[in-house]
Amino acid sequence: MFRSTLILFIFLISCSKSDDLVFDKVVYENDFESNNSKNLSNYYISNYNNSNVLGDFNNSGFSLHLNELDKHNKIVISFDLYIHGSWDGNYNGFENDDRPDLWKMELGVPNSYFNNYIFETTFSNSPCTASYCLKQSFPNRYPYLNNPNTDAYNTGLDRLCNDKFGGPTTLYKFEKTLSHSDSSAIFTFYDKLYQPNANKNGINYAKCDESWSIDNLIIRIINVK
């Protein structure tokens, strides 16, 4: 009898602590297989590696709008990020005009001129040897220096285009937990890619050369007391 009462007491205390400490709710989930465009703007859906993805984007991006969120103080975003082609990271190697290949995610609130959070980083799909290595910033903010493909989930995936431009794709599993308490949120994703050599004989190879896509986008809100 005493043992049963003790087990019940421990169970009730455990549940009480768990309920008191955290509220966790998925408020958005999209794998884009049904072409669901709810809450998205400036987007388009394509097929990569036998799966629908958001993108591919090149010097462009999209926004995700969320409203009527329950009370919370943290917001968690996770997704698969595909980096297609010959991203050059922090330094592109062009003499006298060296610019980074930037990728950005911003979190803001409606009717505000300020963003709560800005994450600006770079990616590199270049080879890395003792004599040649174009560094990237991810998983840190730009201008931090890491080797190409640092923290990649998978490398050497299929090219976006079967031509001389670009290169293999790298997959990153992206997740951030951010402070946020407003009832609305706007996530904005975009890039600033530098590709002076992506136009040959009047043909623009920009997307084949460098672009990005997103899949399995999930947003959760958490209330930590």
Instruction: Indicate the helix (H) or strand (E) that contains 54.
Output: strand 51-57
pLDDT, tens only, 151-162: 999 999 999 887
pLDDT of residue 4: 45
3 state SS for 117-153: EEEEEECECCCECCCCECCECCCCCCCCCECCCCCCC
Query: Average of pLDDT values for 179-193?
Result: 95
Note the pLDDT of residue 210. 95
Rounded to whole angstroms, the Cα distance separating 25 from 214 reads 22
Q: Which percentage of the chain shows pLDDT scores above 70?
A: 86
Counted residue by residue, the chain has a size of: 225
Residue 5 lies in a domain: no
| 6 found inside a domain | no
Residue 129 has pLDDT above 50, yes or no: yes
**Per-residue confidence (pLDDT) for residue 112, from 0 to 100:** 64
Band (pLDDT 50/70/90 cuts) for residue 114 is: low
The rounded distance, in Å, linking the Cα atoms of 61 and 190 is 4
**DSSP single-letter state for residue 223:** E
Residue 9 lies in a domain: no
**Residue 137 within any structural domain of the chain:** yes
CA atoms within 13 A on the CB side of 140: 11
How far, in Å, CA of 208 to CA of 111, rounded? Answer: 36
Q: Are 215 and 54 in contact (CB under 8 A)?
A: yes
Do 141 and 121 meet the contact criterion of CB atoms below 8 Å apart? yes
| 15 found inside a domain | no
Distance between CA atoms of residues 160 and 167, nearest Å: 8
Report residue 9's pLDDT band, with 50, 70 and 90 as the boundaries. very low
Taking the C-alpha atoms of residue 12 and residue 207, their distance in angstroms, rounded to an integer, is 56
For residue 11, the model assigns a pLDDT of 40
> Around Cβ 11, how many Cβ atoms within 10 Å?
10
CATH number, domain of 196, equals: 2.60.120.260
pLDDT (average), residues 107-132? 85
As for how many domains the chain has, the answer is 1
Domain that holds residue 65: 23-224
Res 212 pLDDT > 70? yes
Residue 1 belongs to some domain of the structure = no
Question: pLDDT of 51-106, one tens digit each?
Answer: 999 999 999 999 999 999 999 999 999 999 999 999 999 987 776 778 899 999 99
Is pLDDT larger for residue 163 or for residue 150?
A: 150
Residue 3 lies in a domain: no
**Which of 20 and 178 is assigned the larger pLDDT?**
178
